Structure 1
Amino acid sequence: MRTMSQTLANLKRRASRKVVELYQLECPADTSPNDTKSFESKYKIRDILRDLLDMLKQFENDITSSEYTLLWSFFSFKLATTFIETEERQEGRHTLREILSTLQSRPTMTGFFQAIETLAACTETTKSVLDGCIASISRSDDLQAFSGLLQSCFNSLAVVSAPSSHQPEAEGEDRPDTDVESTALHWLRRAESVFQIYSRVFGGAIKGHAPECWESLGFFDSLDFSSPTSKDTTELIKELMFETSYTTTLFMLAQAYSNDDDRTEAAKYCQQTLQRQLQFAGHTEALLTRLGVENHKAASTDGDTVPVPPSDWLVSSVVRIDPIEWASNASTLGEYYLACGHYEATLECLLSAWT
């Protein structure tokens, strides 16, 4: 009798061929801008993801609930992303909310969702508040499987929501949307809470305990011609993707507070974003170099050959720091602190920009 792990391996082996097609569409050899081709690719990607979801459905009774939900959620998240990228915001939002509902229905995630709501509603995050939130949460396979995905879902929901409480969700709407759940800030506060709670549950150390990400699902490792990614490298990828997603959350929070005319909070999150960009710049470059990203365009792309997987997806997911842009942003932040009379913070920003 075939075991669950053997069945999952068989599923990944079958799905991997579709994932190769997905890879080739998302990371084309021809990188010249072409809006028409780009949109055509998005629709092809959507068809592939629907095929993958149909394929997964055939295995629903043969793999564990966690395995099924993990793959379904990641396929659905990428599907939601294609809707957003083709300006079908309502479809994207609906798919993202469906993922949240599915994860929330899992008994092992109930306490986590409750803690997220509690922390997101707090005006100030302190150690005691965090300790109170995680009191009923324990380390679990589900927590480690779904937290990164959950954070990304909240970030994406912010993208398809009103940029501030003063503005409608999308151009063309003639009335402000007063539903708090329709604002970017609502979802970003929850994305922030996911990272803070997860970090606290694991004692402040993400290293070695990072949640799953698309790049860690192991589809390429199912291909006969693909060299399996080492466990250490996979862990580094998971850590970097989770940390990068959180930096994105902070960057978007700075924008959301700025849109709400809260310059103090906007400056706080801008400073945190700049600090983290600098903190993880070296980690990003080291990992990309380790995966051979700089040479990936010279690799063979004939037939089914996949050069240095999953490095190309990492390149598109991880924003490398631009020193000039970073220095400019630090200087701008320093000017704000100067206007507020915060001279120590001003000096710190300007010195960072100059060096």
Structure 2
Amino acid sequence: MDSDSSHTATPTASRNRHLLDELLAEADIQINGDRPWDMQLHRTEALDEIVARHSLGLGETYMRGDWSTPALDEFFYRLLRADLQKKIKPFRNLWRIARAHLINLQTRSRAYQVGERHYDLGNSLYQSMLDSRMTYSCGYWRNADNLEQAQEHKLDLICRKLGLQPGMRLLDIGCGWGSLVGYAAERYGVECVGVTVSREQCRYIEETYPHLPIKVHLQDYRALNESYDRIASVGMFEHVGRKNHRTFMQVARRCLKNNGLLLLHTIGKNQRHSTTDAWIDKYIFPNGDLPSNGQICDAAEGLLIAEDLHNFGSDYDKTLMAWYQNFETNWEKFADSFGQEFYRMWRYYLLSCAGAFRARHIQLWQWMFSDRLKGGVTRVV
């Protein structure tokens, strides 16, 4: 729950009824209502900006403190369940849609931007928010009571799906802070190689796992050319982009040994022809592009066989809410360094995403692929 206690509602009893009143009512949200998910308006002019600039306007007015809500996650759950994003279609979105289809926003020269702007914010910030292994992806909550258990269960699920055994060589494409390679090397006795576009992540892995057979490279995935028994990619495919999905699968096939397996863990969208949320693209994950099921299948066709698809997107709601609680608890350590606008931006990011998964607006998939010609076989656990 988002306390949003730093603002009190500005009296707006005299304001005229706005288009946004009618739209939000379709999602059972009231402006200056008394329920936890209702929007508390602090600057009337923000309503015009939200209508004119859609998700970007909604996020930026929140960051400025123009509106608030005690339960931001529930606000977004209702907003997205009502499909209000389809009711307001500013003309400017036409350019964003065209750009996503015509321009490769995830070229090698741009690949490091998300590392610099998001993952390199500081390891101490992420350490305060994540579990002890620094796992920045969806946990697996089926038999878990807390974040620590959920992330360990997810890592073990991946290792079991891949059938890891001592002596194997595992490649982790987009290895984050090394939670998977650390767990796999320690618990399953495999040799691990990780690649990342974040200098901070690379440094953290080198400092944390010098005693394990782990190598980490600051490298774009397209440069990979060595052979591995197993490949995993956890929470990285969202940065690949539709123009490069096929290239990613070609790299994976090139790097898989005979009977090799690829586990692809990714957030996904429900519709093929949609674009990244403008606010998320500008402030959180530059150049991000969630894949659809169809896009993933297209990319793998003729290269890899899809052996299994596992959806546990509802678990990301719980994961994000746990991250948010950790962030809120530890914020005072970072308040002077990051400032109030960052605080509101980060709360908006975590809680809006939690609401999106709760509404089933986006999904979390684990795909299992085997080499089409070499005949890999997976076992599903």
Smaller-chain TM-score bracket: under 0.3
Between the two structures, name the one with larger relative contact order (CA 8 Å, sep ≥ 6).
Answer: 2
Alignment TM-score, normalising by the size of structure 2 = 0.26
TM-score, normalized by length of structure 1? 0.27
Whose strand proportion is higher, 1 or 2?
A: 2
